[in-house]
Amino acid sequence: LRTTLLFLSPKGLYTAPDSCKGRCQEPYSPEDECHCNAECERHRNCCEDYYRHCREEGFSSSRDAITDEELLQVSEQLYKADHNKARPTDIAINPQYQASPDETGDQEDRSPQPLYKYVNEALFSKPTYASFIRLLDNYQRATGREEDVTAEELREQDIFLREVMKTELMKKLFAFLHKKNRYGSEQEFVADLKEMWFGLYSRGDGELDSSGFEHVFSGEVKKGKVSGFHNWIRFYLLEKQGVVNYFSHNFEGPWDTYPDVLGLQFSWDGFYKEVGSAFIGSSPEFEFGLYTLCFIARPGRACHLSLGGYSLSIQTYTWTKSTYGDGKMYIATAYVISS
């Protein structure tokens, strides 16, 4: 009878592999889909219900937990520290047609003019912009085709990371994460940024064909549709070349200065993007820093921030099919989800 009872133990038989119910503080196993021990926060591989089952007292009980209030405070600090953002005179946009929710999938060009009427390209000579732009041509956009990363491209990644880390914005982000014991040194932080953003994984048939940076900032094409592509600089440069065609927007943010936010419909060489949210006029380090903050603090969940007194949420997802280091997760995507 005892053997039967042990065999029927719910913990052994009925625990869901993607849940922490009955699994709190169990030892790490690389075979698990997600994890429920104290280290999972640092590695960003906790099950979604970790906080409900294993930390019922909530975020604020732990000295190193990042509270919702702290996210609002630090995001305002990063917003104020974005000294490289566009000034109102640097960009003129022409949003034209605003699509209703049931029109975003129509693939109909309702805006005859380009989105960007004018961009002061002197912005692009700033070190963070210049190093960012050099990264954009390093990728094959089609998933399923292995990326061939050259020594020069690896050097360009290092230059970009070096330039953004010189900014007050990224220094403030590191100071915050250091205080929260996520990183012991700036060197450790930069090394992790390189892995989480530029580390390659497979969205296709086992080919190392994608990375968080490629997906979010450069954009990909998967199953005949645009995937990712959430960056205004990339959009402007491709629209200028005539390979991106702006169709409409379904959302415009409340900001009367930059960065602002737009939800866009567009085609890229004939491939369609139904809703591509993007900051407009922000520096590369602002987007990079904000997405990093949310990926570390709220991986896989809505991350609620405040920018210039207005609320904004960012959604991130972890790439769950492969890891780096000691079970750390790559960035699958990051994008703005609301005003």
Averaged over 108-113, what is the pLDDT?
96
Catalytic residue among 35, 43, 222, 273: 273
Query: 22: burial class by Cβ within 10 Å (0-12, 13-18, 19+)?
Result: middle
In this structure, the answer to whether residues 46 and 105 fall within a common structural domain is no
Does a structural domain hold residue 119? yes
In this structure, the answer to whether residues 269 and 202 fall within a common structural domain is yes
In this structure, the answer to whether residues 171 and 270 fall within a common structural domain is yes
d(CA 273, CA 317): 19
In this structure, the answer to whether residues 104 and 74 fall within a common structural domain is yes
pLDDT in tens, 63-90: 678 899 999 999 999 999 999 999 999 9
In this structure, the answer to whether residues 125 and 199 fall within a common structural domain is yes
Residue 178 bears catalytic tag: no
Does a structural domain hold residue 63? no
Q: pTM of the entire structure?
A: 0.84
d(CA 245, CA 99): 15
pLDDT at 315 over 70: yes
Q: What is the CATH number of the domain that holds 27?
A: 4.10.410.20
pLDDT in tens, 185-219: 999 999 999 999 999 999 877 788 789 999 999 99
pLDDT for the residue 53: 78
pLDDT in tens, 19-65: 887 788 777 888 788 888 888 888 888 888 887 778 644 433 356 78
Q: Which residues pair with 310 in a beta bridge?
A: 307
Does a structural domain hold residue 44? yes
In this structure, the answer to whether residues 135 and 204 fall within a common structural domain is yes
Of 34, 55, 76, the one marking the end of a domain is 55
**What's the half-sphere exposure (Cβ side, CA atoms, 13 Å) at 7?**
4
d(CA 123, CA 281): 10
In this structure, the answer to whether residues 82 and 211 fall within a common structural domain is yes
Of 16, 34, 55, the one marking the end of a domain is 55
Catalytic residue among 35, 85, 230, 249: 230
Does a structural domain hold residue 62? no
Residues making up the chain, counted from first to last? 339
pLDDT in tens, 210-256: 899 999 999 998 889 999 999 999 999 999 999 999 999 999 999 99
pLDDT at 161 over 50: yes
Range with lowest mean pLDDT among 12-21, 126-135, 163-172, 317-326: 12-21
pLDDT for the residue 321: 87
Does a structural domain hold residue 60? no
In this structure, the answer to whether residues 14 and 115 fall within a common structural domain is no
Q: Is 267 helix (H, G, I), strand (E, B) or coil?
A: strand
| CB neighbour burial string for 254-289, b if at least 16 within 10 angstroms, e if fewer | ebeebbbbbbbbbbbeebbbbbbbbbbbbbbbbbbb
Which residues form the domain of 36? 1-55
d(CA 141, CA 225): 11
Q: What is the dihedral of CA 224, 264, 85, 89, to 10 degrees?
A: 130
Averaged over 157-171, what is the pLDDT?
98
Domain count for the chain, please give it. 2
In this structure, the answer to whether residues 23 and 159 fall within a common structural domain is no
Catalytic residue among 35, 85, 180, 215: 215
Does a structural domain hold residue 27? yes
pLDDT for the residue 60: 34
Does a structural domain hold residue 92? yes
Q: What's the whole-number average pLDDT of the chain?
A: 88
Does a structural domain hold residue 61? no
Percent of residues, the chain, with pLDDT higher than 90: 66
Q: Quick one: which of 227, 303, 212, 310 has its CA closest to 261?
A: 310
In this structure, the answer to whether residues 183 and 267 fall within a common structural domain is yes
Residue 304 bears catalytic tag: no
In this structure, the answer to whether residues 132 and 281 fall within a common structural domain is yes
Is the Cβ–Cβ distance between 264 and 249 less than 8 Å? yes
**What's the half-sphere exposure (Cβ side, CA atoms, 13 Å) at 85?**
21
Is the Cβ–Cβ distance between 167 and 81 less than 8 Å? yes
* Number of Cβ within a 10 Å radius of residue 140: 16
In this structure, the answer to whether residues 305 and 180 fall within a common structural domain is yes
Is the Cβ–Cβ distance between 143 and 203 less than 8 Å? yes
Residue 172 bears catalytic tag: no
**What's the half-sphere exposure (Cβ side, CA atoms, 13 Å) at 298?**
21
pLDDT for the residue 6: 31
Distances (CA, A) of 107 to 99, 102, 219, 265, 272: 11, 11, 18, 8, 7
pLDDT for the residue 58: 40
* Number of Cβ within a 10 Å radius of residue 187: 9
